[in-house]
Structure 1
Amino acid sequence: MTAFSLDPAQTAWCEELRTLARDRLAPLAAEGAPGHVNRPLLAALGELGLLDRLFGSGALDLCLLRESLARGCTEAETALALQGLGAFPVLRSGTPAQRERWLPGVRAGRHVAAFALSEPGAGSDAGALALDAAPDSGGWRLTGEKCWISNAPEADFYTVFARTTPGARARGVTAFLVPADRAGLTGTALDMLSPHPIGALAFDGVRVTPDDLLGGPDRGFAVAMDTLNLFRPSVGAFALGMARAALDATVEHTATRTAFGAPLSALQAVSHQVAEMATRTEAARLLVYAAAAAHDAGEPGVPRRAAMAKLYATETAQFVVDTAVQLHGARALRRGHLLEHLYREVRAPRIYEGASEVQRTIIAKELYANREPTA
């Protein structure tokens, strides 16, 4: 296998996942309340062993899993990905006791995880975190806010990043595992364009101890980047799955919808747009797979490759879905239509886990840092 092709077993697995998402998971997703954690859907993901794949697979398998689920049911993909994002720091940096307490429930879909990094004044600039972790009797007291946190306020535990060393920017951030029932922690749901749950968290002197540490004092930024370097290419895979779903629908629609006495596909203006959608989608696929393969192989330049994959795939998905809506016409704007759903879903990935502008900055910084000066 190379970074640019899949073997027959992987291809068959992707098709199986897509069918499973469409036939079994999509009905459960339809029964959920928008903006709330769909626990029956999570339980089904656990029962099918898909949540377990989050922790036993590499970046490429994670990308294939997210892409395939997204083609059949975006809600199932998002529920699975948020579990991974919130729990991966526990797997990688947690103590044996933390892993034993929380990960079996995450794998089974009983415990809901959340990744609490962003704040009202610190989204893309993670080094500017202001949630204060003040020393207190051998532990710390967390005081401040988190915002735009997926699965909040309904998660069972949060991976929380707080400032333990003032003025040290990224070098002064520590990660903690904070159960949702900890005294002083409250949350508020936010009504967002995307249908999955997002909320704000308020910390009023929330007590944490050394037993709650993830990765050690002042190691939180490394914990966050370890997680994001894995999940950024897979955000691109999520976007890729949506692009492929929109492309599939558009090929079918333009081949069967007639106008001016012929299928829409007979119009060069239409067929060329579909060709552009397909070409950009394939280019995004190659970038995503290559970034994931580089991560799994331990190759250098993973942050740049992950940034390229997320940037290009999410921007491409926005273009593909928007073009699909245009070619479908008014029917695509009707509530409940696949493309209406994708149109709402596709916008957020260009912002979360590092906005497109941040990804461009990461790419440019590495290019300039590694340049070879001319004599």
Structure 2
Amino acid sequence: MPASPVQQITILGATGSIGASTLDVVARHPDRFAVFAVSAHRQVERMVEICLRHRPRYAVMVDADAATRLQRLLVQQGCRTEVLAGAAALEDVAAHGDVHAVMAAIVGAAGLKPTLAAARAGKKVLLANKEALVLSGRLFMDTVAASNAVLLPIDSEHNAVFQALPVDYRRIPGAAGVRRILLTASGGPFRSTPLEALDAVTPDQACAHPNWVMGRKISVDSATMMNKGLEVIEAHWLFGAPASIIEVVVHPQSVIHSMVDYLDGSVLAQLGNPDMRTPIAHALAWPERIDSGVAPLDLFAIGQLAFERPDFHRFPCLALAYRALEEGGSAAATLNAANEEAVAAFLEGQLGFRGIPAVIEATMERAGQHAVDSVEAVLDADRHARRIAREEIQTRRIP
């Protein structure tokens, strides 16, 4: 039999933790995968390293000045990677005819348009950007269906649920006999911190996740459990599951990545070491399995697994996410935009840790909700929410 063609991969957000893990897995299988394009915002030095090692055809810098610097440095090094600039170039490399799969790992609302472009072009979309579904769930899923794109979740929790469901679960009436989807959560660094101590939490403390190595924004989202709230919304769209059957289970060891509870009493779980290369490798090779570089799980070393109910008083962001899913329309876009603004203010020392959910709740109250049936409507809701959130941040600004 002839050898399978090498899959060309575009990595949106190549300098982040997901991008780095994707590059690691791809490099382990040069007979199967090649890097077609990579993108970053303005991290020039890291992109030089990536281009020299992986030799992609294109490198996209959203920042035009950074693109100019990158091109100059690559020419000096004799690297033939072509550098493109601007947000439109992200969509171009996501939808390019030579691309087989797109890793959508740009954090936040900025990843929405290129991820939609990949779906519209019928690509295999490896979805690590949860905001694409949070902001435009119905629009995104309709685009995937219309173009026959393949959508594979990269979040460890959704990838675990995907693995625990039957392959043809979307074609089985009654959601394949599923009773509950159980999304596990580590509880972050403040799972047992006294509530009164949360007012004095610093950005460095919030970013010190006990199990995972992640970027600063998503680390703060883990500390507030907003990441889990966004994942609840994402699970609703990915698996066609109502909010009433999506439950969050605090599991401090982060060994069980999520579970599916069936009507017959079976509970299927996916376990593994907390390393994002596992879901990345699973999605890249799906439906096959390949080596990810992750060490085998040592159950004897772990010893025991613990589970707790989430405390909505400690983690109000989780409750706000359930509320946004229930309200529908633009509520989830408002939630996400307000969270991005509040987390950025916290990381810059302008807002206290407990000010994050306060800003989000106030923004949701003021913004209201309306239908979002186009990308423009989604982005309008996002912009409107950000304006309100910035005003709310100013009223709570740390002197």
The answer, yes or no, to whether TM exceeds 0.5 is no
TM-score norm. by structure 1 comes to 0.29
TM-score norm. by structure 2 comes to 0.28
Structure with greater contact order relative to length (CA < 8 Å, sep ≥ 6): 1
The answer to which structure has the higher helix fraction is 1
